[in-house]
Amino acid sequence: MVEAYYHDNDDSVDFREPHNSGEKVSLEQLARIGAFYKFCPTLKEVDQVALDRAYKNRDTVSISKESLGDALLPKLQTFYAEHLHEDEEIRYIVDGEGYFDVRNASDDRWIRCKLTPGDLLVLPAGIYHRFTLTTQNYVKAIRLFKDEPKWVAHSRPDADGNPIRSEYLAALQ
């Protein structure tokens, strides 16, 4: 079950540490910024979400020292750079764990979502976010897509003027 809280913003500590400020964030607060969460104990529930939300494609990614070797740290640095996508980002955790940080709406604070097996998180197109492994240094996740699998990240602040970003902000009003 997802655990969500405000990030402590302590950049002197490795980003894979919990960075828990102690201030919890509810599923309702996540829903208000357009993030959809569902606990899916089996793939049957994932399949149902995919059907309901028209996610036609999927693949599985494994992120660890074993799968990426020396490419792990550069990969994590890429994922941890604040970015948005022009499509939803849909992730289901099969094994291991990871943190998705998302910006809140009112004052741009980071909300950290700790995902463990069975957690399915959908981030809306246009939301600024970032990802990291935990200190476990391992996740296996299913990525679901409405169309063909792709990963295109638009960095902040360059993406501030992206029309998908504007649509996202307008939907929050």
Ligand X SMILES: CSCCC(=O)/C(O)=C/O
Q: Contact residues for Fe ion (CB under 5 A)?
A: 89
Judge whether 7 is annotated as a binding position.
Answer: no
Query: Which does residue 114 touch among Fe ion, ligand X, none (CB within 5 to 8 A, set by kind)?
Result: none
Which C-beta is closer to Fe ion: that of 89 or that of 119? 89
Query: Which does residue 124 touch among Fe ion, ligand X, none (CB within 5 to 8 A, set by kind)?
Result: none
Residues at the site binding ligand X, with contacts judged by CB under 6 A:
61, 79, 89, 91, 98, 129, 131, 139, 141, 143, 151
CB of 102: closest distance to Fe ion in angstroms? 10
Query: Which does residue 141 touch among ligand X, Fe ion, none (CB within 5 to 8 A, set by kind)?
Result: ligand X
Contact 118, 84 (CB under 8 A): no
CB of 44: closest distance to ligand X in angstroms? 21
Judge whether 97 is annotated as a binding position.
Answer: no
Judge whether 88 is annotated as a binding position.
Answer: no
Contact 168, 86 (CB under 8 A): no
Which C-beta is closer to Fe ion: that of 88 or that of 89? 89
Render the burial of 45-84: b for 16+ CB within 10 Å, e for the rest: ebeebbeeeebeeeeeeebbeeeeeeebeeebeebbeebb
Judge whether 89 is annotated as a binding position.
Answer: yes
Binding-site residues from annotation: 83, 85, 89, 129
Binding-site residues from annotation for Fe(2+): 83, 85, 89, 129
